Amino acid sequence: MTGEAVSNGLKKRIIKEIKVNLDKCIGCRACEMACSGFHAEPKFSSTNPARSRIRVIVEDRKDVYLPIRAGDYSSAECAGRNTYTINGKDYSQCSFCTVSCPSRDLFKEPDSDLPLKCDMCESVPPLAEPMCVQVCCCDALTYVEREEVVDVKEVRRDEIDLGLESLISKHGIEKVAKIVAQIARTSKG
């Protein structure tokens, strides 16, 4: 996220957004392949759609093809900032999907259960377009950047925050705190 100061406390920043046109999706899952490959360590050393931060919900007999990205973690959510085109019409909010919200359990690492989050493929050097958009040739996914003036006091929540928050929601704060303390003790010794 880049930004320049506008006036006190406010900043202009570039909002990166992926528009999703459900009408164009062919259900190929190339986006899952590319995302999981790109986020492997080292890059592309493995593929696994279950680690992808975009998942395509398919119910082929009902003509449901729904690519959703993992947004900031809460117990059930896709990327809230998505714009969806469904049957030719644009929607900017949740709950318009043609299936009941399916994203609840999708975005977790298969081994650790830690939450996955779309990071817009931030990397050095930056990509011209996020990976999923690059491989989605039929333009079901398109990349747009727009400027927005925001309050800088808004804190950016990083992966550790999100991971901890999910653990807390799953196991309760006391248990997590206890384990963190334990780890701190053993790694010191």
Partner 1 sequence: MRYAETGFDLEIDLSRGSIERVATDPKLTALYLGGQGTAAKILWDRVPPEIDPLDPENLLIFSTGLLHSTPVPGANRTSVDTFSPQTGRYSHSLFGGFFGPEMKYAGYDKFIFRGKADDLVYLWINNDKVEIRDATHLRGKGAQETALILKEEVGDDNAQVASIGLAGENRVYMASIEHANSSASRGVGVIMGDKRIKAIVVRGTKDVYIAQPTELAEISIPMYKEMYDNKDCGDSMAHGEGDEFHVDNFAWGNARTRRNQFFTKEMEEEWISLEDKLRMRWTGCHNCPKDCHQAINYPGRMPYFQKCYSKLTYAMGSFGDLDFDYNIIGITQEYGMDAYSTPQTIAFAIELYEAGILTDKDLPDFPGADGETVEGYNINTSRFFYLVEKIARREGIGDVLANGIYAAARQIGNGAEEYDHNTIKKFEQVPIKLGYVNYPYFLMYATGEKMNITQIEGSYPQAPIVDKKEREEFVKNWDAAPERFKKWFMEWEPRTNVSLEAAVHICDWNEAMHYIDDAIGTCAFLSSFRGQFGGRPPYHIYNMPDFITRASGIELDSDELWEVARRNRNLVRALNIRRGLRRADERPPEDHWQKREPENEQKLLDMYYEFKGWNNDGIPTRETLDKLGLNYVSKDFIQRGILE
Q: Applying CB under 8 A, which residues contact partner 1?
A: 26-30, 33-34, 37, 40, 42-51, 57-63, 65, 102, 110, 134-135, 137-138
Looking at the Cβ atoms of 11 and 69, the one nearer to ligand SF4 is 69
Q: Give which of partner 1, ligand SF4, none residue 115 binds (C-beta under 5 to 8 Å, depending on kind).
A: none
Q: Give which of ligand SF4, partner 1, none residue 89 binds (C-beta under 5 to 8 Å, depending on kind).
A: none
Nearest to 141 by CA among 60, 14, 24, 28: 24
Query: Any residues with CB less than 8 A from the CB of 60 and at least 6 apart, and which?
Result: 27
Least Å from the CB of residue 12 to ligand SF4: 22
Looking at the Cβ atoms of 13 and 47, the one nearer to partner 1 is 47
Q: Give which of partner 1, ligand SF4, none residue 94 binds (C-beta under 5 to 8 Å, depending on kind).
A: ligand SF4
| Ramachandran assignment for 108, one of left (phi > 0), alpha (psi -120 to 50 degrees), beta (any other) | beta
Residue 55 parent element (H or E): strand 54-59
Strand 10-21 relative to strand 54-59, pairing = unpaired
* Residues that bind ligand SF4 in the complex, under the rule CB under 6 A: 25-31, 34-35, 38, 53-54, 56, 67-69, 77-78, 94-95, 97, 101, 103, 118-121, 130-132, 135-136, 138, 140-141
Looking at the Cβ atoms of 136 and 162, the one nearer to partner 1 is 136
Q: How many CB atoms lie within 10 A of CB 121?
A: 20
Q: Give which of partner 1, ligand SF4, none residue 72 binds (C-beta under 5 to 8 Å, depending on kind).
A: none
Q: Give which of ligand SF4, partner 1, none residue 97 binds (C-beta under 5 to 8 Å, depending on kind).
A: ligand SF4
Nearest to 166 by CA among 117, 122, 120, 118: 117
Least Å from the CB of residue 3 to ligand SF4: 20
Judge whether 42 and 55 are in contact, CB under 8 Å: no
CA dist., res. 10 & res. 7, Å (int): 5
- Looking at residue 163, the DSSP 8-state letter turns out to be H
